[in-house]
């Protein structure tokens, strides 16, 4: 299974945008432990079914920035070097999708699962 973000655009012609985040195993092995260490509130729930709105995007991006800062730090020993690029690439795609969604005119719904 895959942990992903679905962005719904009820007020526009766009129907949905799907952003893969991580495989379930990688999410459990890397994303959740780091989020727990950093005491993040949103990221650890991405795989459980988290429904958010446009107003929540800054909080999600702030957590992703904190997560990325830790991943680049010397303290990070959770993600093996051969998986680091994969995690960072997914993280960057997610941040870019959220930034684009934030600039969308009208309401949007974010569904992490």
Beta carbons of 5 and 112 less than 8 angstroms apart: yes
pLDDT tens column, 67-87: 999 999 999 999 999 999 999
- Could you tell me the pTM of the whole model? 0.92
**pLDDT band at residue 106 under the 50/70/90 scheme:** confident
pLDDT tens column, 15-61: 788 999 999 999 999 999 999 999 999 999 999 999 999 999 999 99
Q: In the chain, what is the straight-line distance between the N-terminal and C-terminal CA atoms, in Å?
A: 10
DSSP notation for 53-104: EGGGHHHHHHHHHHHHHHHHSTT--SS-HHHHHHHHHHHHHHHHHHHHHHTS
State the average pLDDT over residues 80-97.
Answer: 96
């Amino acid at each position: 299974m895959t942990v992903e973000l679905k962005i719904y655009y009820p007020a526009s012609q766009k129907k949905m945008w799907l952003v893969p985040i991580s495989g379930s195993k990688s999410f459990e092995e890397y994303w959740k432990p780091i989020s727990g260490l950093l005491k993040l509130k949103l990221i650890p729930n991405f795989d459980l079914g988290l429904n958010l709105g446009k107003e929540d995007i800054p909080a999600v991006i702030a957590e992703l920035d904190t997560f990325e800062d830790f991943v680049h730090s010397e303290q990070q020993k959770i993600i093996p070097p051969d998986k680091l690029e994969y995690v960072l690439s997914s993280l960057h795609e997610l941040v870019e999708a959220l930034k684009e969604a934030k600039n969308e005119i009208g309401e949007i719904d974010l569904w992490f699962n």
